[in-house]
Homo-oligomer: A and B are copies of this chain.
């Protein structure tokens, strides 16, 4: 089974809205934080995701889903857990869970699907050496 990577941080005041809770669009940003942490873990490198970008490879989002279970409030510590759910030649799907880091309560769960794109935005296959490094258990 593929490794799950967790990252924990405090919610920001700027992320709250007039209902007094974290705005629902922020969870997509937190997923991205979880995804970044997963990439950093996998490529054993502080740069992580930036390595692909340096080669002109990016992973554009083609789909996102988010299910909101309970709200987060200013100052709450939240943990984003991220793991790959599916890998294809041209892309992958990551899954996420967001929990209150203090109580463990599930706040949100979701997925994002990505495909590789080059600098011009055209869809490209993910090079084999990246697949081998990112998802060795899948090859």
Contact = CB atoms under 8 A, between A and B. Distances in A.
A28 B18 CA distance: 16
How many chain copies does the complex carry? Answer: 4
A138 to B, nearest CB: 24
Main secondary structure of the interface of A (DSSP, over half): mixed
Given A47-B75, A48-B75, A49-B75, A12 B33 contact: yes
Interface of A: 9-10, 12-14, 16-21, 23-26, 28-29, 32-33, 36, 46-50, 53, 58, 60-68, 71, 73-75, 77, 121
A98 B37 CA distance: 22
| Most chain B beta carbons < 10 A, residue from A25, A32, A48 | A25
